[in-house]
Structure 1
Amino acid sequence: MRILCDINHPADIHLFKNALWRLRDNGHKYFITARDKEVTLQLLDEYNFSYVAFGKHYSNITGKIYGMFKFNTLMYKEVQRFKPDILISSGSIYAAQVSALIHKPHISMEDTENSYEQIIIYRPFTDVILTSTSFERELGKKQIRYNGYHELAYLHPRYFTPDQSILKILRVHPQDHYVVLRFVSRGSTHDIARKGISRENKIKTVEKFSRYAKVFISSEDPLLYELKQYQLTIEPHRMHDVLYYATMLYGESATMASECAILGTPAIFVDDDGRGYTNDEERYGLVYNFTESIDDQERSIKKGVELLQQPRVKAKFRERHRNLLKDKIDVTKFMVWFIEKYPESAAIMKKSAFYYKQFA
């Protein structure tokens, strides 16, 4: 089988990497296409993936419309060259539309309920949309659910082993506490009208948390002058080591909040729309969800201080994360089976909705 994987976002590399390696080991061939967004190309290089990059990602509406035509054209050329049997992505408009042009199936991994425009555009051209059982939207007959999250595909203990050498890079003693703050840009279609955590509360958060722990900030946008001294400077592929050993994560990234849930690190997620998976993780006591209202921002900071004051907070969260892992499946294992056996796999899942349980 020849598999084309289109990468929308750096997190997609982590989502698909283990599945692609396993598919390769099983005798299949894959090829990757991508846009130059944030650290996407750095990660692809780090993992020694062969790929074609179609240029810079566009963040405004006009650019996105232009990009649809540009990237579809470039994608079509690569598809003609590689001749895939199947295309996979995490909600890629380009992979979906080009798959329809060449009459090949497209499988989308979707986890973002508020990607309204993106889903509307790619759904007509997509054969199957795989979502978590925690996904809080119904997407019709093409939707198939499984009991897991994207982040389990790469942070499940079968695939991730933390490397304590990161503490030396951070200049942090193993017994010290540190907090990671994560601020995102608003370039995604589902984020454009959003403001996020206020400037004042970003500064306030650092001031409050610094009383209890060392603070590091990871930000997609340039940091405020007052906060530059806290900027986290590491190689992108070491971020999960940073999160594993952190005392807490606070910020605007749903993906990082979920990553922390899988790793057993307390996480506070601030976002108006939220995500089905972080809501599910809150039921396990691993993620605390807040809106972007000023009152909720204040409450989120208070919750952060409360967690930092708790003795042995990480031990409590590691126990909770073990409970989560007992309930969820091995998402990589499920993806490999679904792709290799498609379209029979889709028919099996439609007939037996809980078939995914055998991939625990």
Structure 2
Amino acid sequence: MRVIVDIGHPAHVHFFKNTIWNLEKKGHQVMVVSRDKDVVIELLDAYKIPHTVLSKVKQGKIHLFEELFIRDSKLYNIARQFNPDLIMGILSPTVAHVAWALGKKSIIFNDTEHAKIAQKLTYPFCDIICTPTSFKKDSGKKQIKYSGYHELAYLHPAYFSPNPEVLQELGVEVGEPFIILRFISWGAHHDVGQHGIDNKLALIKELEKFGKVFISSEGKLAEEFDRYRIRVPSEKIHDLLYYATLCVGEGATMAVESAILGTPSIYVSSLAGTMGNFSELEEKYGLLFNYSDSEAALTKAVELLKDPELKKTWGLKRATLLRDKINVTEFMVELIESLPGKKSGVSVSAVSDESYV
């Protein structure tokens, strides 16, 4: 098979990397197209994944539509030459548009219920919509549900083993408490008009009473926060999350990553409660807490940090989650390889309960 993968966000690199490598090992040809956003290019280069940059992100809603036109145009020309059997991405209108225009198959992965504009621009043109079983919206006949999360495509034990050596780069000892904060730029189409942590400095000062504080930031940090910036290669962030005592942040992806890795996670956003994976991680597994109020989030953080058995307890919760969930990369590869012979536009029936739900 010939497959094009669209990478538009740092989390997409992690989500697709194992699938890309597995497909290539099986003899399939994979082309990757990318978007210059945050550390996307840095990650792809670190993993030695060849890619073609379609666009560079700009701030402002109007630029999102300008960029969409550029990406559609460039990918159309690339796909005409590459002649793929399949184009796939995470809620990528460009993937759906180009595949539809060229009569190719497309798979869209999505775990963000509130990304309504992107869904309206994408769903009518794609063949398959893959969502976690926790996804709160019915996406119709094109939808395939699987018992997992995007983050399990790269944090499942089959693919991830934590490396404690990264702690030396931060000057942290094994077992020493430390907290990771995640700030985002709120520039994504589904983040416009939303907000997160109100008083970042007050939060830092309170958390510092319990351990060292490190910040991962999507955008440029204010000078007063720069000394807290995590200064390790981006591909090592999951090792840090695994060993962290607590993660507090505005970023949805890192919040889920932390929870899946067995690190208590507090998600602070006006979007709290809108996404099914977050609700499930809180209500069913108790691994993550959702707050729209910063003060309430800080109170919960302090409560957790006072618990000497915190990491042990979360390790047990993580084990329960892993018993319930599938190897998402394995699901992706099997789904992709099942497509040859199926006509574009034809819905693919849900995979067997035994395998994926």
TM range (shorter): over 0.9
Q: Label 1:65 to 1:354 Cα distance change in 2 as closer, same or farther (>3 A).
A: closer
Can you give the 5+ residue segments of structure 1 that lack an aligned partner in the other structure? none
Which whole-Å deviations, capped at 9, do the CAs of 1:187-213 have from their partners, x for residues lacking one? 101111123211xx2111101110011
Give, in whole Å, the separation in 2 of the partners of 1:354 and 1:100. Answer: 23
Contact 1:113 1:136 in 2 (8 A): yes
TM-score of the aligned structures, taking structure 2 as reference length:
0.95
Contact 2:147 2:356 in 1 (8 A): no
SS of 2:87's equivalent? strand
- The one-letter amino acid of 1:175's match is G
- The one-letter amino acid of 2:221's match is L
Contact 1:7 1:33 in 2 (8 A): yes
Any runs of at least 4 consecutive aligned residues in structure 1 with deviations exceeding 4 A, and if so which?
343-349
Give, in whole Å, the separation in 2 of the partners of 1:341 and 1:347. Answer: 13
1:248 matches 2:246:
yes
Mapping of 1:205-224 within 5 angstroms?
A: 205-224=203-222
- The one-letter amino acid of 1:16's match is F
Give, in whole Å, the separation in 1 of the partners of 2:172 and 2:20. Answer: 35
1:331 matches 2:315:
no
Shift of 1:224: 2.7
Which whole-Å deviations, capped at 9, do the CAs of 1:109-139 have from their partners, x for residues lacking one? 1011111000100111110100001011111
Contact 2:256 2:288 in 1 (8 A): yes
Contact 1:348 1:355 in 2 (8 A): no
SS of 1:288's equivalent? strand
- The one-letter amino acid of 2:296's match is R
1:79 is matched with which residue? 79
1:263 matches 2:264:
no
Give, in whole Å, the separation in 2 of the partners of 1:228 and 1:33. Answer: 32
Give, in whole Å, the separation in 1 of the partners of 2:105 and 2:59. Answer: 28
Q: Which is further off, 64-73 or 223-232? A: 223-232
Which whole-Å deviations, capped at 9, do the CAs of 1:329-350 have from their partners, x for residues lacking one? 1100000000000268998963
TM-score of the aligned structures, taking structure 1 as reference length:
0.94
Contact 1:257 1:267 in 2 (8 A): yes
Contact 1:111 1:135 in 2 (8 A): yes
1:299 matches 2:296:
yes
Shift of 1:68: 1.7
Give, in whole Å, the separation in 2 of the partners of 1:19 and 1:326. Answer: 21
- The one-letter amino acid of 1:271's match is S
Contact 2:195 2:270 in 1 (8 A): no
1:358 matches 2:355:
yes
Contact 1:90 1:108 in 2 (8 A): yes
Which whole-Å deviations, capped at 9, do the CAs of 1:67-118 have from their partners, x for residues lacking one? 1221111111110121100001001111110101100011001011111000
Shift of 1:273: 2.1
1:20 matches 2:2:
no
Mapping of 1:103-252 within 5 angstroms?
A: 103-198=103-198, 201-252=199-250
2:288 is matched with which residue? 287
Can you give the 5+ residue segments of structure 2 that lack an aligned partner in the other structure? none
2:40 is matched with which residue? 40
- The one-letter amino acid of 1:220's match is E
Give, in whole Å, the separation in 1 of the partners of 2:112 and 2:300. Answer: 25
- The one-letter amino acid of 1:290's match is Y
SS of 2:267's equivalent? strand
Q: Which is further off, 220-229 or 11-20? A: 220-229
Shift of 1:290: 0.7
Contact 2:113 2:135 in 1 (8 A): yes
2:311 is matched with which residue? 314
Q: Label 1:107 to 1:332 Cα distance change in 2 as closer, same or farther (>3 A).
A: same
Contact 1:349 1:355 in 2 (8 A): no
- The one-letter amino acid of 1:95's match is V
- The one-letter amino acid of 1:245's match is Y
Q: Label 1:59 to 1:355 Cα distance change in 2 as closer, same or farther (>3 A).
A: farther
Q: Which is further off, 72-81 or 239-248? A: 72-81
Give, in whole Å, the separation in 1 of the partners of 2:353 and 2:237. Answer: 29
Contact 1:7 1:34 in 2 (8 A): yes
SS of 1:55's equivalent? strand
Contact 1:152 1:330 in 2 (8 A): yes
Q: CA RMSD in A?
A: 1.7
